[in-house]
Amino acid sequence: MNIRLAALCAAVALALGACASIPTTGPVNEGSGEVEGAEPFVPFAEGPRPGDGVNAIVSGFIRASAAGFASDFSVAREYLTAEASAEWDPVARITVFDSGALTPDYDEAAGRVTYAVPVAAWIDDAGRMVEAEAETQTTLEFQVTQDDSGEWRISNLEDGALLAEATFNRVFLSVPLIFTSQDLTTAVPEQRWLPQSNVATWAARELVAGPSPWLTNAVHTGFPAGSALQVDSVVVTEGLARVQLTAQSAGSLEDRALAEQQLRLTLSALPGVRDVEVTAGGVPLVAEPSDTLAREPVPESVAAVFVQGRLGMWDGDDMWAVPAERGALPAGANALATSYSGTRVAFRLGDSSIVTTDALTGGTDTLEPYDPEAAVPDVAMDVSTVIEGEELLPPSFDRHGWLWTGERSLPETITVAAPGADPITLEARWLAGRTVLEMVPSRDGARVLVVSRAGAQTVVEVAAVVRSQDGAPLSVGEPLRIGANIGVVVDAIWVDDVSVALLGSSDGADSTPLWVVSVGGRTTQDAAVPDAVAISARHGDRSITLVSADGTVRERAGTGWSGVGSGVSELAYAG
Q: Which H/E stretch holds residue 233?
A: none
Cα separation, 188 vs 182, in Å, equals: 10
Q: What is the pLDDT of residue 72?
A: 86
Q: Is 40 strand, coil or helix?
A: coil
DSSP per residue, 385-432: EEEE-SSBPPPEE-TTS-EEE-BSBS--EEEEE-TTS--EEEE-GGGT
Dihedral angle of Cα 52, 54, 56, 59, to the nearest 10 degrees: 150
AA letter at 368: E
Cα separation, 559 vs 562, in Å, equals: 10
Q: What is the pLDDT of residue 71?
A: 79
Cα separation, 180 vs 186, in Å, equals: 6
Dihedral angle of Cα 322, 325, 331, 332, to the nearest 10 degrees: -10
Kindly give the pairing relationship between strand 532-536 and strand 545-548. Answer: antiparallel
DSSP 344: -
Cα separation, 226 vs 250, in Å, equals: 10
Cα separation, 336 vs 569, in Å, equals: 10
For the packed helices 253-267 and 199-209, what is the interaxial angle rounded to 10 degrees?
A: 150
DSSP per residue, 144-173: EEE-TTS-EEEEEE-SSEEEEHHHHHHHEE
Cα separation, 453 vs 433, in Å, equals: 9
pTM: 0.89
Q: What is the pLDDT of residue 8?
A: 41
Cα separation, 72 vs 233, in Å, equals: 14
Q: What is the pLDDT of residue 43?
A: 63
Cα separation, 100 vs 67, in Å, equals: 17
Q: What is the pLDDT of residue 168?
A: 93
Neighbours of 46 (CB within 10 A): 11
Cα separation, 498 vs 220, in Å, equals: 17
- Three-point CA angle 446, 222, 482, nearest 5°: 35
CA distances from 235 to 54, 197, 245, 249, 430 (A): 41, 12, 13, 19, 44
In tens digits, the chain (575 residues) has pLDDT values of 443 444 444 343 333 333 333 333 444 443 333 334 445 555 668 999 999 999 999 999 999 998 898 878 999 999 999 999 999 999 999 999 987 778 899 999 999 999 999 999 999 999 999 999 999 999 999 999 999 999 999 999 999 999 999 999 999 999 999 999 999 999 999 999 999 999 999 999 999 999 999 999 999 999 999 999 998 899 999 999 999 999 999 999 999 999 999 999 999 999 999 999 999 999 999 999 999 999 999 999 999 999 999 999 999 899 999 999 999 999 999 999 999 998 899 999 999 999 999 999 999 999 999 999 999 999 999 999 999 999 999 999 999 999 999 999 988 999 999 988 899 999 999 999 999 999 999 999 999 999 999 999 999 999 999 999 899 999 999 999 999 999 999 999 999 999 999 999 988 888 999 999 999 999 999 999 999 999 999 999 999 999 999 999 999 998 899 999 999 999 999 99
Q: What is the pLDDT of residue 10?
A: 39
Domains of the chain and CATH, by start: 3-11+38-170 (no CATH), 198-284 (3.30.300), 303-572 (2.120.10.30)
Do 332 and 349 meet the contact criterion of CB atoms below 8 Å apart?
yes
Dihedral angle of Cα 192, 196, 200, 206, to the nearest 10 degrees: -30
- Three-point CA angle 526, 527, 533, nearest 5°: 120
Cα separation, 132 vs 92, in Å, equals: 18
